[in-house]
A and B are shown apart, each in its own frame.
Chain A
Amino acid sequence: EDQVTQSPEALRLQEGESSSLNCSYTVSGLRGLFWYRQDPGKGPEFLFTLYSAGEEKEKERLKATLTKKESFLHITAPKPEDSATYLCAARGNTGKLIFGQGTTLQVKP
């Protein structure tokens, strides 16, 4: 059965303190691994798509990487405005998008 697990559930950082969020996936025939950011009361905002192991994508302070079993979202020198819930999702041969439970990030000034 396809599965996506995110850790940690919650993460508190000081402004400028870099860290990583983990997304472990078990998906048959990965078609894409997606990262989203969700602010309270809003819909998920698309960040990145990764397709194959070794791929990396960057946007401002965020960098997403992919291995055959995991994806990481690295946050470098975070700012308070990076506080949000980060969702990872994977789609395999079934075509269904499987979401992880999310990591809620709080960055304190």
Chain B
Amino acid sequence: DTEVTQTPKHLVMGMTNKKSLKCEQHMGHRAMYWYKQKAKKPPELMFVYSYEKLSINESVPSRFSPECPNSSLLNLHLHALQPEDSALYLCASSPGTANSPLHFGNGTRLTVT
């Protein structure tokens, strides 16, 4: 069992819908991440939060909006997505030091119709 919990596991949404992905960790980690992963590709970084502040945005389109309400929670708000946004969305956390590994959740499988 992973210590990073993501909900929902699966999500199907239309291009006009608004939905949110949620992530929670209780390891006391100070950095949290959103990644996008397409089939047979490695994870691609989207956003990094460090001490609850957005520190990296990898030029992600504004239809993806991250939020970090507190040090344990991370949300990704979705609006007006395109079919090509269908992917596995992974949340990860780490202690925040450069030499520490990321710990991933099991992701949300998103399908945009």
Contact = CB atoms under 8 A, between A and B. Distances in A.
Interface of A: 31-32, 34, 36, 41-46, 49, 51, 87, 89, 91, 95-97, 99-102
Interface string B67-103: 0000000000000000000001010100000111111
A43 B98 contact: no
Interface residues of B, number: 22
B7 to A, nearest CB: 13
Interface of B: 2, 4, 6, 40-43, 45, 88, 90, 92, 98-107, 109
Contacts, number: 52
A32 B4 CA distance: 21
Contacts of B42: 87, 89, 99-102
Contacts of B90: 43-44
